[in-house]
Chains A and B, each alone.
Chain A
Amino acid sequence: MNVYYYPAFIVMFAALLILIQLCFKRSHVLSYITSGLSLLAALIMQIYLQTHSNNLINNQSISSDVLFVFNAETSFVSLLLLMVVIIIWAQLYHWLKTINEQNEQNEEYYLLFLLTTMGGLIMVSSNHFASFFLGLELMSLSFVGLIAYCGHDQKAQEAGIKYLILSAIASAFILMGAALLYLQFGSLSFSALLQDSSSQILPQWAIITAIIFIFTGLFFKLSLVPCHLWIADLFEGAPLVTAAMLATLSKLAVFIILWRLVTLGHWQQYQIIIDIISIVAITSMFIGNFLGLLQKKLLRLIAYSSIAHFGYLLIVLLLINNHAISFSSQSFNEQTLFFYLVAYLFTLVGVFSVFMQLPKIKTLDDLSGLFWHKPVIAITLMLLMLSLAGIPLTLGFMAKFYLVMAAVSQQLWLVLTALVISSIIGLFYYLRVIMAMLKTPVDELKFSDIKSDGSSLSLNLLILFLVIGFGVFPSSLSQFIQQVTG
């Protein structure tokens, strides 16, 4: 048995343990501790594996089975995923207690939480359509439970049904695409996609159709335009933690798969695929940011900002190395992708953590005057908004800088123009959040129920450390990523 399976195994065993434990004794604290310990153990294991794999030269895959591939990059993504999940987990206990006051049975949430994490871990290192699909379904089906978890809330139920149906349709699209690719290549393995197209069985349009089918499914999960309509309702309806998981874990795993498929299969060789990606990227940036302007509810605003951010990130898929200016090697493109993912996910997790500390605040107006009553929380949220907007000295700016450097070196002027214009539009609503917090408060007692104890303070400081610390001194992070990509 390969040592690289261990993190996923640890998570799986914890899930089983909670399942068994539920038969004997229902205890919220116990499930919390079990899930947390397993996640921490998995993280430590993953860190160990990461240091191990970084020492290998040439970035060859250390181990690849039929179903999975493990190299420095996949283990880096798993590491990132586990870190994000742990930051979310750390606040789970308090938060579940506040939403489920009358109902004491919160243990299933941990079970589903661990299963989604496992689905994500499977996906990011999968090398085969079978393992990818299993991971995807494990994640999506657990998400349905997580979304509809507050059964008494009608909006949550509606969101759960929406997600169930739409994600089933998306999966069907992916299956159809995989089947068509199987027809051409005779294998479901990702590495088979690399095959020379001399032995062409299907006409080219059939392969392109297959690719578009797969894109449709993946774009749905990433909520890119035109498959974006569900996300705002879902963020609003689902419990906050679930929304955080959807925005980070699910999107991270799916984007990694998308990127792996496109690079392994050399899908950029088809001009029409390039066009499709460009159009989706540009429309996502614009529609995400424009709709963000209209929102009054914070979570909907974040949902649309996430559409726009994945639009920016799609630029990474357009980077091919045929007419490059310069320094941008394949490795630099990967560094861009990883840096952007790290920056965006940390920022987003920070935003959700801040929201979790403000349980009663749903709309922009509710925020007004926060700065004068709870300065630490407000400053954290402010800097996170600046990071999302890409103002220098934040992590978000460095990510944008990577992206612009990569795109300029490939002379992608069209998407760059779109990036600039839509970033300016986006700035409007990020500023609105900041402005709302600076307003003179009307109701003095509004914020009295916000706890500001040591744990939330230290969490905010951790977020600030990540977002500002790495924003001002990004070199350690960038060197680490450089090492990972080899």
Chain B
Amino acid sequence: MSLFILISIPLMGGLLAWYSERFNADLPKKIAVISLLMCWLPLIPLLNSMPFDTSALGTSQWLINESYSWIPLFNIRAHLALDGLSFLLIVLTLLMGLVALSSAWHEITKRTGLFYLNLLWTLAGVLGVFLAIDLFLFFVFWEVMLVPMYFLISIWGYEHRHYAAFKFFIFTQAGGLLMLISLCALVGIHYQQTGILSFDYIILIQNPISGDLAFWVALGFTIAFLVKLPALPFHSWLPDAHTQAPTAASVILAAVLLKTGGYGIIRFVLPLFPDASIQLAPFMMFIGVIGIIYGAMMAFVQTDLKRLVAYSSVSHMGFVLLGCFALNIYALQGAVMQMLAHGISTSALFVLVGMIQHRYHTRDLNELGGLWINLPKLSAFGLFFGIASLGMPSLGNFVAEFLILVGSFEHYPKLTILAASGLILAAVYSLLLIYKTFFGQTKLPHDNKIADTNTKEWCTLISMCFILIYLGLHPQPFFDLVPVTLMKLSFIPADIGASL
């Protein structure tokens, strides 16, 4: 039951927060914090035993496995399960949920109850995506988490919020419908080949489908995930959504929602379609590399801070795509690490941009400048996360990108060399961001009323710094958690042990 409780806590908390607005406009955010903290409770038994004891992972992929009948006609089950990969992403989700709350604390003043309802429900949907093991249930969560996100952008966003929310919803829904059809086709073909009608991942994975259709089914799934990642031809919703969304929604979007795409590829595409993913790999690697370079170059020419960070996301997520389809265990570990590190560093940047905008009411790079004089603490954090984003050794992003490049080099040396140039471009845009915002001449009028980071902001940012440093200096526990050997990935030889 614990996983169902985990998902239902934010759902209930959201309703309660909405209702509590009648009594006091400050009550919803307190309820939101409490319910997010309560979400850790079902995870405590795991925290106790698992992270530093890999023997629990040795035998079975699933640490918790819960299944109930839902729609018997199609043999659809409400099946949630948790393994190391989903555990890491859930921890990321809950942490970033707190960060989002912290950034929304003073920014959201209108309709607070509804805001926290939508925020918590988005988080609940994301938790569901990371936990659902029945494909139908996965699809339901996948689609449903978009609806509260849509409201977050279109009610509390900036000038062009309706357009951005619209675009976000349409893009992801289009991908979702494609996934629905691929899903039905997958189940149909599986039924034809084995005689078992099931939407259950654990059953489907035992007999991967084969044949011509399998390639198209795999492509359908992959495109649905690429839209969310986002990879190059489907990325255009992301800069708009990020730019227009309120800071909290940007944080959730960057830290968690994009990760569902990478998670989907690792969890579903690679194990369910071993043959098709080998066929798809060169093409996907190519898209990934293009995404890295294109994203970085687009980031370079932006004048809007949020857009700059959004395009840097496109570039970083290109590395995730690269790592997933390199079909190599190091690259895969790197992709997981990249998802975590990018989740933290990028959302920290969004938090910083939100703080700057809250103080100066602009995010135009040409109007900002010389913030270091007025806001030394905030600017120091900006320097740190900018450096993290360019991949400085000893921080999490470096570990991730290094592993991805090492892994991909085995089969795709030329593409890897191209991808490595993305690191240089990342340095260009990150340094540009730092230079134009924090250094240089002060363009804004000096105003003593604008305060530096307060304690809450400082605590949020410093804890994110520490997580990134920990990821960079001691990443091994995180690698141990991801059960690559148990995930039935065909390209991983069976004898590769826990030696990694």
Docked pose: A408 CA to B217 CA in angstroms: 11
B238: Cβ under 8 A from any A Cβ: no
In-complex Cβ contact of A479 among B72, B139, B143, B189 (8 A): B72
Known: A408-B184, A438-B155. Is A431-B139 also a contact (CB below 8 A)?
A: no
In-complex Cβ contact of A424 among B72, B155, B174, B188 (8 A): B174
Smallest CB gap from A424: residue in B: B174
Docked pose: A478 CA to B143 CA in angstroms: 22
| B173, A478: Cβ atoms closer than 8 Å | no
Docked pose: A392 CA to B178 CA in angstroms: 14
Count residues of B near A (Cβ-Cβ below 8 Å): 34
A393: Cβ under 8 A from any B Cβ: yes
A458: Cβ under 8 A from any B Cβ: no
| B144, A393: Cβ atoms closer than 8 Å | yes
| A408, B185: Cβ atoms closer than 8 Å | yes
A58: Cβ under 8 A from any B Cβ: no
Docked pose: A326 CA to B213 CA in angstroms: 15
| B191, A431: Cβ atoms closer than 8 Å | no
Known: A392-B144, A420-B177, A474-B71. Is A326-B155 also a contact (CB below 8 A)?
A: no
Docked pose: A465 CA to B142 CA in angstroms: 23
For chain B, residues 161 to 177, give those with C-beta under 8 angstroms from any C-beta of chain A.
Answer: 162, 165-166, 169-170, 173-174, 177
Docked pose: A151 CA to B89 CA in angstroms: 64
B147: Cβ under 8 A from any A Cβ: yes
Q: Is the interface of B mostly helix, strand, loop or mixed?
A: helix
For chain A, residues 389 to 445, give those with C-beta under 8 angstroms from any C-beta of chain B.
Answer: 391-393, 397, 400-401, 404-405, 408-409, 416, 420, 423-424, 427-428, 431, 435, 438
Known: A435-B162, A435-B166. Is A416-B181 also a contact (CB below 8 A)?
A: yes
| A478, B140: Cβ atoms closer than 8 Å | no
Smallest CB gap from A432: residue in B: B166
Q: How far is the CB of B233 from chain A (nearest CB, A)?
A: 16
B192: Cβ under 8 A from any A Cβ: yes
| B197, A424: Cβ atoms closer than 8 Å | no
Smallest CB gap from B184: residue in A: A408
| B73, A478: Cβ atoms closer than 8 Å | yes
A482: Cβ under 8 A from any B Cβ: yes
| B71, A424: Cβ atoms closer than 8 Å | no
A461: Cβ under 8 A from any B Cβ: no
| A438, B154: Cβ atoms closer than 8 Å | yes
A198: Cβ under 8 A from any B Cβ: no
Docked pose: A404 CA to B184 CA in angstroms: 7
Known: A327-B197, A435-B166, A438-B154. Is A404-B71 also a contact (CB below 8 A)?
A: no
A345: Cβ under 8 A from any B Cβ: no
For chain A, residues 36 to 62, give those with C-beta under 8 angstroms from any C-beta of chain B.
Answer: none
B360: Cβ under 8 A from any A Cβ: no
A102: Cβ under 8 A from any B Cβ: no
Docked pose: A335 CA to B73 CA in angstroms: 11
On chain A, the residues within 8 Å of B173 by CB distance are 391, 424, 427
| A431, B169: Cβ atoms closer than 8 Å | yes
A202: Cβ under 8 A from any B Cβ: no
On chain B, the residues within 8 Å of A478 by CB distance are 71, 73
Docked pose: A135 CA to B180 CA in angstroms: 40
Docked pose: A473 CA to B78 CA in angstroms: 11
Smallest CB gap from A391: residue in B: B143
Docked pose: A478 CA to B144 CA in angstroms: 22
| A325, B151: Cβ atoms closer than 8 Å | no
Smallest CB gap from B69: residue in A: A475
On chain A, the residues within 8 Å of B165 by CB distance are 435
On chain A, the residues within 8 Å of B139 by CB distance are 392
Docked pose: A424 CA to B175 CA in angstroms: 10
In-complex Cβ contact of A405 among B74, B140, B155, B170 (8 A): B74
| A475, B72: Cβ atoms closer than 8 Å | yes
In-complex Cβ contact of A408 among B170, B178, B188 (8 A): B188
| B71, A391: Cβ atoms closer than 8 Å | no
A240: Cβ under 8 A from any B Cβ: no
B70: Cβ under 8 A from any A Cβ: yes
Smallest CB gap from A481: residue in B: B73
In-complex Cβ contact of B170 among A326, A327, A428, A473 (8 A): A428
Smallest CB gap from A471: residue in B: B140
On chain B, the residues within 8 Å of A335 by CB distance are 73
A386: Cβ under 8 A from any B Cβ: yes
Docked pose: A35 CA to B74 CA in angstroms: 41
Q: Mark A312-348, 1 if CB is under 8 A from B, else 0.
A: 0000000000000111000000010000000000000
Docked pose: A386 CA to B192 CA in angstroms: 33
| A404, B192: Cβ atoms closer than 8 Å | no
Docked pose: A261 CA to B478 CA in angstroms: 63
| A392, B140: Cβ atoms closer than 8 Å | yes
For chain B, residues 65 to 95, give those with C-beta under 8 angstroms from any C-beta of chain A.
Answer: 69-74
Known: A404-B184, A478-B71. Is A393-B177 also a contact (CB below 8 A)?
A: no
On chain A, the residues within 8 Å of B155 by CB distance are 438
Docked pose: A478 CA to B155 CA in angstroms: 37
| A325, B191: Cβ atoms closer than 8 Å | yes
**Residue from B136, B162, B178, B197 whose CB has the most chain A CB atoms within 10 Å:** B162
Docked pose: A479 CA to B69 CA in angstroms: 13
Known: A424-B177, A438-B151, A438-B155. Is A326-B191 also a contact (CB below 8 A)?
A: yes
Q: Mark B182-195, 1 if CB is under 8 A from A, else 0.
A: 00110111011000
Docked pose: A386 CA to B69 CA in angstroms: 25
On chain A, the residues within 8 Å of B70 by CB distance are 473, 475
Docked pose: A475 CA to B76 CA in angstroms: 10
On chain A, the residues within 8 Å of B73 by CB distance are 335, 475, 478-479, 482
Docked pose: A423 CA to B180 CA in angstroms: 12
Docked pose: A44 CA to B73 CA in angstroms: 28
In-complex Cβ contact of A327 among B147, B178, B191 (8 A): B191
Known: A438-B155, A475-B72. Is A424-B180 also a contact (CB below 8 A)?
A: no
On chain B, the residues within 8 Å of A424 by CB distance are 170, 173-174, 177
On chain B, the residues within 8 Å of A438 by CB distance are 151, 154-155
Docked pose: A193 CA to B21 CA in angstroms: 65
Docked pose: A40 CA to B338 CA in angstroms: 63
Docked pose: A397 CA to B142 CA in angstroms: 13
| B177, A423: Cβ atoms closer than 8 Å | yes
Q: Mark B434-448, 1 if CB is under 8 A from A, else 0.
A: 000000000000000
In-complex Cβ contact of A393 among B140, B166, B180, B191 (8 A): B140
In-complex Cβ contact of A391 among B144, B170, B184, B192 (8 A): B144
On chain A, the residues within 8 Å of B170 by CB distance are 424, 427-428, 431
Apart from A326-B197, A392-B143, A420-B174: 19 A-B pairs, beta carbons within 8 A: A392-B140, A392-B144, A393-B144, A401-B136, A401-B184, A404-B180, A404-B184, A405-B187, A408-B185, A408-B188, A420-B177, A420-B178, A424-B170, A427-B170, A428-B170, A438-B151, A438-B155, A474-B71, A478-B73
Q: Which residues on A are within 8 Å of B, measured CB to CB?
A: 325-327, 335, 386, 391-393, 397, 400-401, 404-405, 408-409, 416, 420, 423-424, 427-428, 431, 435, 438, 473-475, 478-479, 482
The 6 closest A-B pairs by CB, nearest first: A408-B184, A392-B140, A392-B143, A326-B191, A478-B73, A420-B177
A-B contact pairs, 27 of them (CB 8 A): A326-B197, A327-B191, A386-B147, A391-B143, A391-B147, A391-B173, A392-B139, A392-B140, A397-B143, A401-B136, A404-B184, A408-B181, A408-B184, A408-B185, A420-B174, A424-B170, A427-B170, A428-B170, A431-B169, A435-B165, A438-B151, A473-B70, A474-B71, A475-B70, A475-B71, A475-B72, A478-B73
